[in-house]
Amino acid sequence: MSLEHQNAMHPRIVRPDGDAERRDTNVTPVVKAVDLNYFETFGTRLVSGRPFVAGDAPGAPLVAIINKAAADVFWPTRSPLGRRVFVGDSASGGEVLTVIGVAANAERGELFQRHWPMLYRPLRQGKIYHAAARLYVRAGDNPAVLAAAERAIRETTTRKAIPFASDEEKLNNGLMGRRAAATALDVFAAFGLLLAAMGIYGNVNYAAKRRAREIGIRMALGAKRWGVVGLVARRGVLLALAGSVAGVIGAIMLMRTFKASALTTTVATPWIFAGSVALMVVVVLVATLLPAARATRVDVVIALRAE
């Protein structure tokens, strides 16, 4: 079980105190005041340094733990341990915290950007800007644990506790809009693929009709049927491969723009591009083989008379 207090829009200034190599001046880490069990509850490991201890209390030196993303923003080529961070509401009023540890990256609840910089400080040392706090319970697959926690809160505070929601439920609710948008994009993509297949089919079919005389001559001279089919289909396949290569290059360049939103997958997953190219080639083959095979069944005499 763990308690967290997020300082809402405060503090507004979070910057390294002293020497730093800050790369992005537009990024302000989110500050959270957490208890000693926070990282254990979430299963977040420390990359380096030490966790918070009971001695990190009021009157003791002010300390903080930052995540890997914040370390990469403030000190990308140096160790952040022992360095100091200014935290405050104005340039003249604030606190200076000493970094004692670096935690692995964990996603924010809003899920709008991957690996947002975070700064954690001991709950007993943090400034409280409002009374709201969040209680996290590691329940596993046992819902009775959440019910017991709600009952304990109700008995202690004499108030009705807000029902706990699992991380899975929060994730599903947070991604509902994106899933709807992704489904709509899938539908449009499938429709676009259908139009592309129809266009390829019409183009190859028209090209085969224009080459009726050539096909007739080849057949009259003893050309094999599948050789002629391959000849007619070759142009469509080459165009498909050229278009697929151009599409993959364009997709890689475009996905760099959306890299921050790719929360659950790598933007350059090879099998996604390989599958897309394979699917396009299959569609082209299906769209070209039928008109190509039909062209080989043209009567040779009629084909030779064709203008």
What's the confidence (pLDDT) of residue 8?
A: 44
Comparing C-alpha atoms, which of 269, 191, 283, 272 is closest to residue 239?
Answer: 283
Host H or E run for residue 22: none
What is the pTM assigned to this prediction?
A: 0.56
Pinpoint the alpha helices (H) of the chain.
38-42, 68-74, 143-157, 167-210, 212-220, 225-257, 270-296, 300-305
The tens place of each residue's pLDDT in the chain, 307 residues long, gives 555 655 544 677 888 887 656 555 567 888 888 888 888 888 888 999 999 999 998 889 999 999 999 998 888 888 999 999 998 877 777 889 999 999 998 765 555 556 788 899 998 887 765 556 667 777 666 667 777 777 777 777 777 767 776 667 777 777 787 788 878 988 887 888 778 777 777 776 677 667 667 777 777 777 777 777 777 777 777 877 788 788 878 877 777 666 545 544 555 567 777 777 777 777 777 777 776 676 667 666 665 555 5
Which pair of structure tokens corresponds to residue 25? Answer: 């001046």
What's the confidence (pLDDT) of residue 16?
A: 86
Q: How far apart are CA 44 and CA 118, in angstroms?
A: 13
Q: How far apart are CA 8 and CA 30, in angstroms?
A: 9
**R_g (Cα) of the chain, nearest Å:** 31
What's the confidence (pLDDT) of residue 9?
A: 46
What's the confidence (pLDDT) of residue 217?
A: 74
Domain boundaries, the chain: 2-132, 168-305
